[in-house]
């Protein structure tokens, strides 16, 4: 599969909904493929009406213009048919009738519907011309004409009302087996719509001219237009491969069509698959379908943007919190100053040396400082490269005999039976409040009478701009206190300490704040 076969979104169907969706996505710089079989629902009609700005445009001209417009934004539009869409671990694979296979992260179904017409000889041939269904699409064009409404279901009363608005010569022909609700019958009588009963035998034409309907009794009802209720049905071809099945649209207890069910943002029951336009709502007109495609595509784009950002977050977190990134960081030049961390110096200078655990030892500066003051130090880190640096630096400093290293990840580390007189964690940070659990683990390693010292960047540092986007990693000293068992600890320091530091970007001096928690385990 080449780059040309890999898309953010495959749009199935390039009618008004699909092309409008593609416009939104293309203008958002998404890689989009529109696969269109070229059979829009209104293709039988000579002109499309009720579409602001393009009133009376031939349907295929409107779509040709739309294709050119979306192509200008880098969207690929291909004349083909999607025959199957399957889910993969990374998205979807769509297969077309021509044998092309493409991948996509999302699928937007805008495949429209197919109109099933009542079975009256001669009706289908005139569909979209003088056999109509929608007063808003072509009602104006038959105003003041003689109109028959063929009642094959419950919609007939509704159509009678609306076409009577346009003409004072409307007759409803009620097919066998159809019973109009009494309220509709009364309304028709009141507004001057006549009723004829019996399934008509055929549509009568003369040359290419509609003459009327041959009624059940053999008489001719001369008419200039015939209104029918089609039953729009979702095309099933590729839906089954996706695990989608159509939902019946019900009116007055009768099935009047089918759609794909969606939620308010256009998501179907299959995650990652969206739908818009007539395929989701059989009452949508052209402009409504276009607007819906435009709207749902915006949600598709937002979904993709959120996914991209989540991936970036995961990568960034791996950079900040996972071992491979730290191995790489410590494998080159020295990255820290080599000086002891200021809050360790402030808090540990007065302590009587014993056994110290330096958590996240990095290049060993704190371990060396402690060892020089007489502590026997266990330097712990999850990066092998850090431990190697610590050993080398401790040896250089002449305190190699008082610094041992241990490889462990504090997120899962348990001290077992081992205890230290000082457990120090300087600027170890974790996302989503993870430092509370780490503090609990570290606390369990403190000997009776010993000291736990946890220091990190305070959330106020966000204001300095130094720690942009790190909010969930920073912690207050108070937030760590729940990690300490009740009655077992004396909190000696719970403070926020300002100090000055150089902004790594501008080099300017800024004030930063350290969270300092120092607690002593009761003896």
Ligand X SMILES: Cc1cc2nc3c(=O)[nH]c(=O)nc-3n(C[C@H](O)[C@H](O)[C@H](O)COP(=O)(O)OP(=O)(O)OC[C@H]3O[C@@H](n4cnc5c(N)ncnc54)[C@H](O)[C@@H]3O)c2cc1C
Query: Under 8 Å CB-to-CB from 225, ≥6 apart: which residues?
Result: 130, 131, 132, 142, 145, 146, 147, 148, 210
Among 31, 67, 164, 235, binds ligand X (CB under 6 A): 235
For residue 36, the surrounding DSSP H or E stretch is: strand 32-36
Is 303:107 a contact under the CB 8 Å cutoff?
no
Q: Per rule CB under 6 A, is residue 130 in the interface with ligand X?
A: no
Residue 166 Cβ, how far from ligand X at the closest point, in Å?
Answer: 15
Residue number, 82 or 438, with CB nearest to ligand X: 82
Among 8, 9, 10, 14, binds ligand X (CB under 6 A): 14
Residue 56 Cβ, how far from ligand X at the closest point, in Å?
Answer: 9
Is 496:510 a contact under the CB 8 Å cutoff?
no
Residue number, 59 or 360, with CB nearest to ligand X: 59
Q: How far is CA 327 from CA 142, 316, 412, in A?
A: 78, 15, 18
Number of Cβ within 10 Å of residue 505's Cβ equals 9
Among 7, 163, 238, 321, binds ligand X (CB under 6 A): 238
Q: What is the DSSP string of 249-301?
A: EEETTEEEEEE----TT-B-SSTTEEE-GGGT-TT--HHHHHHHHHHHHHHHH
Q: What is the DSSP string of 364-418?
A: SHHHHHHHHTT-EEEEEES-HHHHHHHHHHHHHTT-GGGEEEEE--TTT---TT-
Residue number, 140 or 490, with CB nearest to ligand X: 140
Task: State the pairing for strand pair 131-132/225-227.
Answer: parallel
Total residues at the site for ligand X (CB under 6 A)? 41
Stretch that binds ligand X, among 31-39, 263-271, 369-377, 474-482 (CB under 6 A): 31-39
Residue number, 138 or 521, with CB nearest to ligand X: 138
Residue number, 46 or 121, with CB nearest to ligand X: 46
Q: Per rule CB under 6 A, is residue 128 in the interface with ligand X?
A: yes
Q: How far is CA 244 from CA 10, 90, 235, 256, 265, in A?
A: 16, 19, 11, 20, 17
How many angstroms separate the CA atoms of 520 and 514, rounded? 19
Residue 129 Cβ, how far from ligand X at the closest point, in Å?
Answer: 9
For residue 164, the surrounding DSSP H or E stretch is: helix 156-164
Backbone Cα Rg of the chain:
37
Give the x-and-dash track for 265-304 against ligand X (CB under 6 A): ------------xxx----xxxx-x---------------
Phi, psi of 496 (to 5 degrees): -115, 120
Residue number, 294 or 341, with CB nearest to ligand X: 294
> What is the footprint of ligand X within residues 62-91 (CB under 6 A)?
81-82
How many angstroms separate the CA atoms of 215 and 150, rounded? 11
Among 7, 18, 231, 420, binds ligand X (CB under 6 A): 18
Residue number, 15 or 456, with CB nearest to ligand X: 15
> What is the footprint of ligand X within residues 422-481 (CB under 6 A)?
none
Query: Under 8 Å CB-to-CB from 408, ≥6 apart: which residues?
Result: 380, 381, 382
What's the start-to-end Cα distance of the chain, in Å? 67
Stretch that binds ligand X, among 36-44, 195-203, 491-499, 506-514 (CB under 6 A): 36-44
Q: Per rule CB under 6 A, is residue 237 in the interface with ligand X?
A: yes
Residue 122 Cβ, how far from ligand X at the closest point, in Å?
Answer: 16
Residue number, 263 or 503, with CB nearest to ligand X: 263
Residue nearest ligand X, Cβ-based: 15
Stretch that binds ligand X, among 38-46, 244-252, 429-437, 452-460 (CB under 6 A): 38-46
Stretch that binds ligand X, among 48-56, 219-227, 252-260, 383-391 (CB under 6 A): 48-56
Among 38, 374, 398, 448, binds ligand X (CB under 6 A): 38
Among 26, 40, 153, 272, binds ligand X (CB under 6 A): 40
Residue 116 Cβ, how far from ligand X at the closest point, in Å?
Answer: 11
Among 7, 22, 26, 49, binds ligand X (CB under 6 A): 49
| Helix axes 16-27 and 59-71, enclosed angle (nearest 10) | 20
Give the x-and-dash track for 89-118 against ligand X (CB under 6 A): ---------------------xxx--x---
How many angstroms separate the CA atoms of 422 and 268, rounded? 57
Residue number, 232 or 459, with CB nearest to ligand X: 232
How many angstroms separate the CA atoms of 445 and 399, rounded? 23
How many angstroms separate the CA atoms of 301 and 275, rounded? 13
Residue 134 Cβ, how far from ligand X at the closest point, in Å?
Answer: 6
Residue number, 37 or 297, with CB nearest to ligand X: 37
Binding site for ligand X (CB under 6 A): 12-18, 35-42, 44-45, 48-51, 81-82, 110-112, 115, 128, 134, 137, 235, 237-238, 277-279, 284-287, 289
């Amino acid at each position: 599969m080449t780059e040309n076969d890999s898309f953010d979104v495959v749009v199935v169907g390039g009618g008004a909904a699909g092309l409008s969706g593609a416009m939104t996505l293309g203008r958002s710089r998404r890689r989009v493929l529109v696969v269109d079989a070229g059979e829009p629902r209104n293709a039988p009609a000579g002109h499309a009406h009720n579409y602001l700005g393009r009133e009376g445009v031939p349907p295929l001209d409107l779509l040709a213009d739309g294709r050119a417009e979306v192509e200008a934004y880098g969207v690929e539009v291909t004349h083909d048919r999607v025959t199957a869409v399957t889910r993969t671990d990374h998205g979807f694979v769509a297969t077309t009738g021509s044998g092309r296979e493409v991948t996509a992260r999302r699928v937007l179904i805008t495949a429209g519907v197919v109109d099933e017409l009542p079975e009256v000889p001669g009706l289908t041939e005139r569909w979209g011309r003088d056999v109509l269904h929608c007063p808003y699409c072509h009602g104006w064009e038959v105003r003041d004409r003689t109109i028959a409404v063929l009642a094959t279901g419950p919609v007939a009363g509704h159509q009678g009302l609306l076409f009577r608005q346009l003409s004072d010569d409307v007759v409803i022909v009620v097919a066998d087996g159809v019973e109009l609700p009494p309220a509709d019958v009364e309304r028709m009588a009141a507004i001057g719509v006549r009723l004829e009963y019996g399934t008509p035998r055929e549509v009568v034409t003369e040359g290419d001219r509609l003459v009327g309907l041959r009624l059940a009794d053999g008489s001719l009802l001369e008419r200039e237009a015939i209104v029918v209720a089609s039953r729009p049905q979702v095309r099933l071809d590729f839906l089954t491969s996706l695990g989608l099945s159509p939902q019946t649209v019900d009116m007055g207890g009768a099935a009047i069509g089918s759609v794909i069910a969606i939620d308010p943002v256009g998501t179907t029951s299959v995650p990652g698959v969206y739908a818009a336009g007539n395929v989701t709502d059989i009452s949508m007109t052209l402009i409504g379908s276009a607007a819906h495609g435009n709207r749902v595509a915006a949600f598709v784009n937002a979904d993709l943007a959120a996914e991209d950002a989540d991936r970036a977050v995961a990568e960034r977190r791996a950079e900040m919190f996972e071992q491979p990134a730290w191995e790489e960081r410590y494998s080159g030049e020295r990255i820290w100053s080599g000086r002891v961390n200021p809050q360790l110096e402030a808090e540990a200078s007065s302590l009587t040396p014993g056994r110290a655990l330096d958590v996240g030892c990095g290049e060993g500066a704190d371990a060396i400082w402690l060892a020089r003051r007489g502590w026997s130090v266990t330097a712990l880190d999850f990066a092998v490269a850090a431990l190697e640096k610590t050993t080398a630096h401790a040896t250089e400093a002449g305190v190699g005999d008082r610094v041992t290293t241990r490889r462990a990840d504090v997120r899962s580390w348990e001290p077992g039976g081992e205890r230290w007189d000082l457990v120090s964690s300087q600027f170890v940070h974790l996302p989503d409040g993870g430092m509370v659990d780490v503090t609990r683990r570290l606390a369990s390693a403190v000997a009776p009478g010993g000291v736990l010292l946890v220091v990190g960047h305070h959330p106020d540092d966000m204001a300095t701009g130094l720690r942009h986007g790190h909010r969930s990693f920073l912690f207050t000293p108070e937030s760590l206190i729940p990690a300490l068992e009740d009655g077992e600890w004396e909190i000696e320091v719970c403070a926020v300490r300002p100090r000055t530091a150089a902004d790594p970007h501008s080099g300017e001096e800024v004030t930063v704040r350290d969270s300092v928690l120092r607690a002593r385990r009761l003896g």
